[in-house]
Structure 1
Amino acid sequence: MNSKIKTLHSWKRISLIEEEIDLPNGQKITHTTISHPGAAVILPIAENGDIIVINQFRPSLKKWLLELPAGTLEDGEAVEVCANRELEEETGYSAKTMISLGQVTPLAGFCDELQHLYVAKDLTLTRRYACDEDEVIEVISLSVKQLEQKIISGEITDAKTIACLSKAKLCGYI
């Protein structure tokens, strides 16, 4: 289906690619896509039912975002391994139970990223590992009601957080 792929720019594990694509209607187009290896998004549920979230400074937006821990897959890394690694790196918790909620496609119009959603249970506080150099993170514990209020008020705008929380609630985990 794809006859020609050209990498326009690469940064970390993300690339901007241009490719010729045959559409289902027979039309040929040149489409530009951000190629992304995928990510894991984790909803950590504490023993008391609170959700562990992070307040992270996002340089792209130049502001703090309240969000669930998440991170990009390393080369050849299994998704659940990524979920466990990111949970511990960003929050200092490890989980005995990691439940897959499936995946979401956050930016399908211009990016091929798949975000794999997880519920993390049976948490143990270990230690936070060194974050990436561009990560400034505070760990916070909030009730589900508090999280929902922050979504309603617009304090939480992060799409992956809203999607994972919604899917976990619809599936009966919270």
Structure 2
Amino acid sequence: MSKTIHTWKRISLVEEQVTLPTGQSITHTTISHPGAAVILPIDEQGDIVLINQFRPSLNKWLLELPAGTIEQQETPLQCAQRELIEETGVHADTFVPLGQVTPLAGFCDEIQYLYVAKSLSLVETHQCDEDEVIEVVTLSLKKLEEMIIEGTITDAKTIACLSKAKLCGYL
């Protein structure tokens, strides 16, 4: 049996009885999340389009890849296509799926679907959600990697997507 404690947008805090593989029954609280798409946009020069986004929960700016929550009746790919345009004003002709990551498995069921976006073109000024403050930034792969090593970029989805793309030969 599960009980929803709180709901915000499409995210809920749910408490439920869970039976562990040991047979022990526990009460577990999970953040229920519809999933998200993370996009690694690579331009013709091999540079990467990122966003510098103010994150109120941390009260600071984070340099990260464009990403967003999957809407109702939307596939992860459709979410990636929509979020790339909304957050950066960039359209991509090609989206290559890189698989998925589970960012917070200890207390959240969110799955993040990773994509490489290529054949980019500017389509419009980005249209952020009302709670988003975003600046678009383009960096070389070398500079991006230096910023990860220095600790300037700490966003997990950005580091995971970049790593997966590099391991798969897209960078």
TM-score, reference length from structure 1: 0.97
Displacement of 1:23 in angstroms is 1.1
Partner of 2:27: 30
Letter in 2 for 1:111: C
Determine the structure 2 residue equivalent to 1:105: 102
2:117 equivalent to 1:117 = no
Q: Which amino acid aligns with 1:126?
A: V
| 1:61 paired residue number | 58
Structure 1 spans left out of the alignment, 5+ residues = none
Distance 1:131 1:141 in 2: 18
Residue 3 of structure 2 aligns with an amino acid whose one-letter code is K
Question: Residue 89 of structure 2 contacts residue 127 of structure 2 at CA under 8 Å; is this kept in 1?
Answer: no
Match of 1:15 in 2: 12
Kindly report which structure 2 residues correspond to 1:41-52, keeping only aligned pairs within 5 A, or say none.
Answer: 41-52=38-49
Q: CA separation in 2, counterparts of 1:18 and 1:149?
A: 41
Question: Post-superposition shift, 1:130?
Answer: 2.1
Cα displacement (A) at 1:128: 3.0
**Aligned partners of 2:63, 2:156: CA distance in 1, in Å?**
11
Q: Cα deviation per residue 1:14-35 (whole Å; 9 max; x = unaligned)? A: 0000000111111111100000
1:67-82 equivalent positions in 2, closer than 5 A: 67-82=64-79
Partner AA of 2:28 in structure 1: H
> Which string of whole-angstrom CA distances, capped at 9 and with x for unpartnered residues, describes residues 112-158 of structure 1?
00000000001111013421111011101100000000000010000
Structure 2 gaps of 5+ residues are none
Q: In structure 2, what is the Cα distance between the partners aligned to 1:46 and 1:53? A: 11
- Secondary structure of 2:121's counterpart equals strand
**Whole-angstrom CA distance in 1 between matches of 2:113 and 2:83:** 12
1:143 match: 140
1:9 maps to a residue whose letter is: H
| Residue identity opposite 2:136 in structure 1 | V
Aligned counterpart, 1:95: 92
RMSD, aligned CA: 0.6
After TM superposition, what 4+ stretches of structure 1 lie above 6 angstroms from structure 2?
A: none
SS at structure 2 position matched to 1:47: coil
Distance across 2 between alignment mates of 1:129 and 1:163: 24
Q: What letter is aligned with 1:62?
A: N
